[in-house]
Structure 1
Amino acid sequence: MARTEQSFVVIGLGAFGAAVASELARFGNRVMGIDLDERRVAQMVSVLPTALILDATDEIALREAGVDRYDVALVAIGQNIEASILATMNLRLLGLETVWVKAASRVHHRILVKIGADRVILPEQEMGRHIAQMLNNPVVQDYVSLGNGFNVVSIELPKALDGATPKSLGLVGREEPRLMAAMRGTQQLDIANPDLRFAPNDKLILLGRRVVLQAFSDGL
């Protein structure tokens, strides 16, 4: 089944917003980038389908730009908390289905939640937790929190486990950690194959609570 194209508005084209907008466009989505800084917008003109110099605190300007015809918005305005809040309120008034917002502080976070942001991001803190998880255990290659205490991690198997099987690693018939997938380079391995044997540097994608995943990775 073909993936349905989504449309995104990214307000604030600093380092964070520009990176998100560029990736969304690279994935084939319709993306509009908005910023008051002419230089930032100029840098994104060749990257995004639409890049506009616009004041996102002006509801009428947003409406005239057709922002209300997009599915999802990300407000990535930096330290101007007032502008971030007003932009978020305007997007809600325009009826956008989903609004994510970058917060500059805990107080900013609480305000954004109160005015109806669907998700509030504290990039530095979220990245800090991500990096700490990987530094804490070198076999963890990547880490994503799913909420409710559950996480997905990518673990690279060490050389000592050459020839190991899902069963020998205790991953058969277990709810936690649950083996979701295994990769060898760019090849996805058949984890249902009873004859599957892992090789060094294979990556296991596991689902579970942090304490369970930590105990498993510590035992490798």
Structure 2
Amino acid sequence: MTNPSPPVDPAPAARGRPRDAALDRALLEATLEVLYEKGYGGLTTSAVAKRAGVSTATLYRRWKSKDDLVVGTAVRWAHDLGPGKDTGSLHGDLTALLTDKARTLDGPGGRLLHVLIGESAHNPALARVLDDAVVQPVRDRAAALLERAVARGEIPLAQNPRVLADLVVGAMVSRVFLTPPPEPAGPGREAGPPPPAGEAMISELRPFLLRALGVSPR
């Protein structure tokens, strides 16, 4: 799967030379690469600047500190799930949500999340960013799909979208980041390439969630 470069928000209007969006993108991509290779503790602004081919002064004109740079990278790489489309059924809407989240976790945004989860436990600013950028879009999608399911008469009204979102995020993060890959096939058994961990989780998580919502899986 190919992943587009992260969008870069336009800089606010200011006097003087406007910011170079391509340079911003290069610094954000360099931050992601260094984080993935060395972790949060091993990341330095000088290493990021060197990877991007710029001076540290250029970096500091855009982000005032290491934390500021990492937070900016998290915001830009996080995948905005959006409101989602009405597929006509709870089964279809839930499948679309799980598929979109799996793609996020299997891509650069997921790798970034993997690196930053531990750091966010004692970095409140980063924790808030990750909650807003990673978890809140799932909460919004969960609330919308449950409202549609109620309107169709598929489920009763007393459903908590926050719990559904927590189940989606928690289960998929656990499978993608904490579960070891399956053992290789034994002698005489063909072993094709395993599906991405996030995608593999969909077929297991979807029927469980449907049953929890009071709907029989197909």
TM-score using structure 2 length: 0.29
Structure showing greater relative contact order (alpha-carbon pairs closer than 8 Å, 6 or more residues apart): 2
Greater Rg over alpha carbons, structure: 1
Specify which structure has the higher proportion of helix.
2
